[in-house]
Amino acid sequence: DAKTTQPTSMDCAEGRAANLPCNHSTISGNEYVYWYRQIHSQGPQYIIHGLKNNETNEMASLIITEDRKSSTLILPHATLRDTAVYYCIVRVGNAGNMLTFGGGTRLMVKP
Amino acid sequence: DAGVIQSPRHEVTEMGQEVTLRCKPISGHDYLFWYRQTMMRGLELLIYFNNNVPIDDSGMPEDRFSAKMPNASFSTLKIQPSEPRDSAVYFCASSLLAGPYNEQFFGPGTRLTVL
């Protein structure tokens, strides 16, 4: 699976958009980009995933660059409850469901 | 559905003792995963099962660790004998399908402290 690089930490003002970047320059054609987050003292939670096209769901939007070497997770209106560690994971779509978690980005939403 | 259920939520034991962690996956899910999380190593996959059969246990740290899934609704992770370096939060997760859309649902975790 391709390796990902994320900033260690980020701050965001409550109510503003949080844009979390992820670099995955060695991604291959059959690898998807997944985002999970982990709120303190809880298990990780799936947010969104994509292959080539931008994706949006009720939680977030995922913007993938045309060359697929990087992506951005967007939380459109961050709340204090969005304070968490956000993990960007790249893996083949049908690789036995294994997820390899890196260090993630610690997002702090401030009032 | 109640989600993935893990027990106990907290376990404190002494070095050398046997520890058994339990997990009940979401009903109907085909895959079950055991992860360990520490400050030093982050989240690591230990082992996963498909239809109760262990598929990949390459993440199991050593022979002191063993995992079983006797039926579709129950799995155990056992450490015998336990050591202080086993102290961590152990998560169980389950998912329904293989393929690209494979959202894993995580349980609340078991915080293990080995003294």
- Residue whose structure tokens are 């409850």: A81
Q: Is the model's pLDDT at A2 over the cut of 70?
A: no
Distance to chain A for B105, nearest Cα, Å: 7
Kind plus residue range of the DSSP H or E element containing A88: strand A84-92
Contact B48 A98 (CB under 8 A): yes
Mean pLDDT of chain A: 92
Whether omega for the bond prior to residue B8 falls within 30 degrees of 0, making it cis, is yes
Give the separation between CA B18 and CA B86, rounded to whole angstroms.
12
Query: What confidence score (pLDDT) does residue B99 get?
Result: 60
**Length of chain B measured in residues:** 115
Q: Are A107 and A10 in contact (CB under 8 A)?
A: yes
Q: With an 8 Å Cβ cutoff, is B23 touching chain A?
A: no
pLDDT tens-digit profile of B78-107?
A: 999 999 999 999 999 998 876 666 688 999
Q: What percent of chain A has pLDDT over 90?
A: 79
Kind plus residue range of the DSSP H or E element containing A70: strand A70-75
Q: With an 8 Å Cβ cutoff, is A49 touching chain B?
A: yes
Q: Are B49 and B60 in contact (CB under 8 A)?
A: no
Contact B42 A96 (CB under 8 A): no
Q: With an 8 Å Cβ cutoff, is A42 touching chain B?
A: yes
Give the separation between CA B56 and CA B78, rounded to whole angstroms.
16
Contact B98 A96 (CB under 8 A): yes
pLDDT tens-digit profile of B26-63?
A: 999 989 999 999 999 999 999 999 999 999 999 998 89
Mean pLDDT of chain B: 93
Higher model confidence: residue B22 or residue A41? B22
Q: Is the model's pLDDT at A95 over the cut of 60?
A: no
Which residues in chain B touch residue A41, judged by CB atoms under 8 angstroms apart? Answer: 109
Please, is B49 exposed, middle or buried when counting C-beta atoms within 10 Å of its C-beta (0-12, 13-18, 19+)? buried
Q: Is the model's pLDDT at A87 over the cut of 90?
A: yes
Q: Are A100 and A3 in contact (CB under 8 A)?
A: no
Please provide residue B86's backbone torsions phi and psi, each rounded to the nearest 5 degrees.
Answer: -80, -5
Q: Is the model's pLDDT at A34 over the cut of 70?
A: yes
Query: What confidence score (pLDDT) does residue B9 get?
Result: 97
